[in-house]
Amino acid sequence: MRLNNYRELKVWQASMELAQQIYRLTTNFPKEETYGLVSQIRRAAVSIPSNIAEGHTRESTKEFLHHISVSLGSFAELETQFILSGKLGYVEAQTVDSILLKLDEAGKMLRGLQKSLKSKLSNG
């Protein structure tokens, strides 16, 4: 069963919360990173719920799956960028671990949705 609104999806809600947290955390990054790492991190963070929303509103399951795939790519980007931020000392190790845990949880939800949609697609 498909929900009527993407805002009802728990994975969208979780990724929105994560994006908000990322935006807050990156305000403390060095100013020289404003157009570098901060910009990249924020784009990746907002891309996740945005692609879930866009995919949900598309006409077909196949299109939704494509957008889920894009969201998963953004997850990997965000994870990589946040690990780098920790290694550069922009974020405390404990905060990096907390963000990575949240990313892992949301990623599992997204992969679960992807698996469900693939099953729906193959069963016609």
Q: Is residue 124 part of a domain?
A: no
Quick: pLDDT tens for 12-45: 999 999 999 999 999 999 999 999 999 999 999 9
Q: Is residue 1 part of a domain?
A: no
Q: In total, how many domains does the chain have?
A: 1
Burial per residue of 1-15, b for 16 or more beta-carbon CB atoms within 10 angstroms, e otherwise: eeeeebeebebbbbb
Amino acid letter, 44: A
CATH classification of the domain holding 101? 1.20.1440.60
pLDDT value of position 113? 95
Separation between Cα atoms, residue 117 and residue 3, nearest integer Å: 13
Separation between Cα atoms, residue 96 and residue 58, nearest integer Å: 34
Q: Is residue 39 part of a domain?
A: yes
pTM: 0.93
Separation between Cα atoms, residue 36 and residue 4, nearest integer Å: 37
Range of the domain at 44: 6-119
Position 3 confidence tier, pLDDT thresholds 50, 70, 90: low
